[in-house]
Amino acid sequence: MHPNLAGSDLAALLAEGYLGSVWLTGQHPARDLRRGRYTPESMTHPGKMLPTIPRYAIRTYTNPGEIVLDPMAGIGTTVIEAMHLGRHGVGVEYEAEWVTKAADNIRHTVRLGVPGQGEIFHGDSTALPALLPASLHGQVSLVITSPPYGSSTHGHVRTPGPRRGRVRKLHHKYGRADNLAYRSHGELADGFTAILAGCRILLRPGGHVVVTARPYRRHGELIDIPGMVAAAGINAGLKLVDECIALICGVRDGMVIPRASFFQQKNTRDAIATGDPQWLLQHEDVVVLREPLRSGSSREPKCSHGEPEGSGAPSSHVGPCVPGEAEEPLP
């Protein structure tokens, strides 16, 4: 199921100790999680992943030194968090602007003296195996990514100054008109299926894929992006092994601390005022898939307890790979 829960429902689950499928990843505001860890220029990306979500998944599904891939890397959040945790982060991004900003984040992370490595490639992930070196095929332990969805969930807000004016929304759109974010739901599903099929070639036997998403409304219709993700994974030949929720709100003494954007709150209030009872979501759905163990393989996938937070065209590789001081040899 896809638990689209209200804040009071989440608080009740937490109070009852129902933590097995709830990731406590929203305890701190996103701006605090990124401050000093990412370049200020990269903050203009319209759909950044909350850093504690890949952090939790990496700790849960991988060991230090293993390879973590994000085929829709944006500013490289997955790569950066993998580097901080002593893994080898690999990202692929379609838009050149974000490739440049991801590369800047990687260089910034190296200067911090982290134990892991990171690299970013420029290209279309629907042809993923052709973009990445053959040496990575069958070697990736974990894929973490998120499809583009719902511009109402993206962007920054600028409020009027001393002179009266309208609240403005900015940094809420992707740059290229052919980005999957602007395709129909069916085209997005087909494109994402192709991306996950490519991930299978990169994954080691038993490797995991973690995809975060949430439903959104388009012209009043609920678009089930998490359901699309699960179906795309199964159609790509992966096995669905878990469905969790990653909190994007804080929890203090059993009470939910919302962290929804101004426009998310406004859209929900407007819908309720017109008689459409909508919920203000306080979580991301997390779909967990796995590459089946192949015949004769003896390598079992890791699945430890996570730690709560405290086209076929040649690709353009931004690099070289910039390593930190690894705790142990990387693949």
Sign for the CA dihedral angle at 85, 297, 287, 188 comes to positive
pLDDT recorded at residue 129: 96
Q: Map residue 203 onto helix, strand or coil.
A: strand
pLDDT recorded at residue 308: 46
Nearest to 89 by CA among 104, 79, 100: 79
Interatomic CA distance for residues 186 and 183, integer angstroms? 8
pLDDT recorded at residue 321: 44
Q: Map residue 23 onto helix, strand or coil.
A: strand
pLDDT recorded at residue 327: 30
pLDDT recorded at residue 165: 56
pLDDT recorded at residue 174: 47
> What are 313's two structure tokens?
């065209």
Interatomic CA distance for residues 70 and 48, integer angstroms? 13
Interatomic CA distance for residues 138 and 207, integer angstroms? 9
- CATH topology assigned to domain 7-159+180-320: Rossmann fold (3.40.50)
pLDDT recorded at residue 326: 30
Residues whose CB falls within 8 Å of the CB of residue 111, separated by 6 or more in sequence, listed in order: none
Interatomic CA distance for residues 236 and 140, integer angstroms? 17
| In the chain, where the domains are located | 7-159+180-320
Per the CB < 8 A criterion, the answer to whether 99 and 106 are in contact is no
pLDDT recorded at residue 231: 96
Mean pLDDT per 10-residue interval, the chain, length 331 residues: 46 50 91 94 85 96 98 96 98 94 98 98 96 97 86 47 50 49 74 96 98 81 88 97 93 85 74 77 92 67 49 43 34 30
